[in-house]
Amino acid sequence: MITLPRQKTSGIVVSMGAAKVWTILLLAFALFPQTGRAGIIAPHGATTPGIDVSSSQGTINWSAVAAAGEAFAIARAVDGTSVDPTFQQNWQGIANAGMIRGAYQFFEPGQNVDTQAALFLSTVGGFGPGDLPPVLDVEVTGGKSSAVLDAEIGQWVSDVRTATGLNPIIYTGANFWNSLVGGSSFSTDLWIADWGASLPNVPSHYWSDWQIWQYSFTGSVSGVQGAVGLDKFNGSLVDLQAFASVPEPRTLFLMCAGLLVLGRFARRKIAR
């Protein structure tokens, strides 16, 4: 049986060939109910547009995407322990187009969490100015309990935070997180998925704000073939640039330490 590429959705994974209208409507209702939306949080003011992509979108014309007004893009780097074959092309293309870039790990609870984190870090190869913090996409349970999910997500966040010095972002939907994960926000930032709503509904017991809102997964943008995820950053372009450019203390320390070591090595070579 031929398995079509999986399409990232908010709270569940579906086969692209089976994404019938009635199924999407049922999923949207189950994952993002319009009643009991106690965690609705408005943006601070201006928002900045962006998109999210994976191998499902094929080859992307990033210059056309930038020309269409998209300021940032988040590309899938790894799905569990499998590298997205389009990531490196997207990662470089986003930067070449002058856009802010981000990378996400699609979390597979049935696979070893440390292996997933290590593969994600090695695939991305490092974060610098112009890069959003690392993202963990949490939308499937793998049949695991809330307690196990909570522990595994916490382990990934700890591994990546320790390795990069950056505070990761978690992507999820409010109903999915409230019903099936819970536990903690792990002090991460939030990329909330809430399609077709006027304002996003967040897991209010765990986050008090959101940084990015995926408001559609069936959008259309010049330079991208087919449907694509549409997002808004909670702030102006200047705010986005600041969010993607300011390293946390550990990252700054590691950068300075690396430069110091390189400087000493260079002086030794000159002395010789």
Instruction: Point out the residues that are catalytic.
Output: 52, 137, 139
| Phi, psi angle pair for 123, to nearest 5° | -70, -45
Q: Is 155 helix (H, G, I), strand (E, B) or coil?
A: helix
- β-pairing, 6-8 vs 48-53, is unpaired
| CA pair distance 17, 3, nearest whole angstrom | 9
How many helices, marked H, and strands, marked E, lie in the chain?
8, 11
Give the chain's length. Answer: 272
The CB density around residue 1, as the number of other CB atoms within 10 Å, is: 2
The amino acid sitting at 78 is V
